[in-house]
Amino acid sequence: MKDPNSIGSVSKLTDINIETIRYYEKINLIDKPSRSEGGNRLYLDEHIRQLRFVKRARQLGFSLDEIRTLLELSAGNSADCSFAKNIADKHLLDIELKIIDLKKLAKVLKSLSTECEQTTGTDCPILASLNSFN
């Protein structure tokens, strides 16, 4: 086993902000590191693995609760791929629904922008649309 790492070196190794690492510890997303006699955190390779796992999962848009579950599955000796797949499939569906909503928003904004180009004076269709939103 290698020597433990400081929070600063772990931050550099993982490209995760020090405050974020502390937050992940606080919410028990990653294992709490042991402390030196001076009170400094001592991170092991397993902490770095967990942080890289969390970072990649965040890049894929998983929530912290989903990541917690996936980390637990990853740490277990009998990781159930079907359970991980269910989490990923649900997340994928959420993303696909957001894409549909974003496409609808883009269509509305394009329409308003086109109307705005054709309008002269102070009657702005974009502002009118925002003022009339219920």
Yes or no: say if 70 and 58 are a contact pair by the CB < 8 Å rule. no
| Side chain identity at residue 36, one-letter code | S
- Is pLDDT of 19 > 80? yes
The first and second tokens of residue 63, run together, are 């929530």
pLDDT by residue (tens digit) across 58-109? Answer: 999 999 999 999 999 988 766 678 999 999 999 999 999 999 999 999 999 9
Q: Say what the pLDDT of residue 132 is.
A: 84
Q: Say what the pLDDT of residue 122 is.
A: 75
The answer for 61, left when phi > 0, alpha when psi is -120 to 50, beta otherwise, is left
- CA-CA distance, 115 to 107, in Å (whole number)? 12
- Is pLDDT of 8 > 90? yes
pLDDT by residue (tens digit) across 103-132? Answer: 999 999 999 988 888 777 778 888 888 888
Q: Say what the pLDDT of residue 17 is.
A: 98
Q: Say what the pLDDT of residue 123 is.
A: 80
Task: Return the closest-CA partner of residue 53 out of 38, 43, 41, 68.
Answer: 68
DSSP 119: -
- Is pLDDT of 33 > 90? yes
Topology at the third CATH level for domain 1-78: Multidrug-efflux Transporter Regulator; Chain: A; Domain 2 (1.10.1660)
Task: Return the closest-CA partner of residue 24 out of 52, 45, 5.
Answer: 52
- CA-CA distance, 134 to 127, in Å (whole number)? 14
Domain-wise residue ranges, the chain = 1-78, 80-133
